[in-house]
Amino acid sequence: MNKYTQMNQYPCKSQQHGFTLIETLVAGFIMFMVLAAAVSVYGGAVISTSKATSTLKGISVVSEITPLIKVQILAHQNQSSLEGASVSGGVEYFWQAEVVKQSAAPQKFDPELGQFVTPTKIYKLWLVSLTVAVGGNSRTFTYNELSWP
């Protein structure tokens, strides 16, 4: 027998086929971590999309609500404060308006009378606070409105 035959007479059965247990566990752990990160990112994106949708829904209704508030102010000019609440397009809103300044029109010269006269119109500047609520989120807008008889 030669040296080569003696070495391979009892072949070693330790030749590796496949992955070891440690390699499998490490690969599984890495895959679990990647999956957990992906789910977290996806969950955050869903929450952000939901918040953005409700915010846009609330803001888009503001342009429909402000003319309604103006009509109420013009209808009740003799008061110094007003408020109201309603629902429009599934969005709840509440508004308050207070007169912050009022003034008569400036005097003008009437040539028929030959003197200055003060017009009876009184202009009012209102401070309007509008709170819009959509799905538990609320946002407050403040703006000025002008009214006259």
| 6 is a domain residue | no
Q: Which is higher by pLDDT, 1 or 114?
A: 114
State the Cα–Cα distance between residues 68 and 73, nearest whole angstrom: 9
Contacts of 82 (CB under 8 A, 6+ apart): 72, 73, 76, 96, 97
Find out whether 62 and 138 touch, Cβ atoms under 8 Å.
Answer: no
pLDDT at 3: 57
| 132 is a domain residue | yes
Residue 81 scores a pLDDT above 80? yes
pLDDT in tens, 68-80: 999 999 998 888 8
| 61 is a domain residue | yes
Mean pLDDT of 90-111: 89
Identify which of 124, 130, 115 has the alpha carbon closest to the alpha carbon of residue 145: 124
| 113 is a domain residue | yes
Going from the C-alpha of 124 to that of each of 21, 27, 30, 32, 93, the distances in angstroms are 82, 73, 68, 66, 24
Range of the domain at 130: 18-147
- Number of structural domains, the chain? 1
pLDDT at 50: 84
Q: SS3 for 122?
A: strand
pLDDT in tens, 22-55: 999 999 999 999 999 999 999 999 999 988 887 7
| 40 is a domain residue | yes
| 2 is a domain residue | no
| 27 is a domain residue | yes
Q: Phi-psi region for residue 25, left (φ > 0), alpha (ψ -120 to 50) or beta? A: alpha
**pLDDT over 90 percentage in the chain:** 42
What are the two backbone dihedrals, phi and then psi, of residue 35, each rounded to the nearest 5 degrees? Answer: -65, -40
- The confidence band for 59, taking pLDDT boundaries of 50, 70 and 90, is confident
| 123 is a domain residue | yes
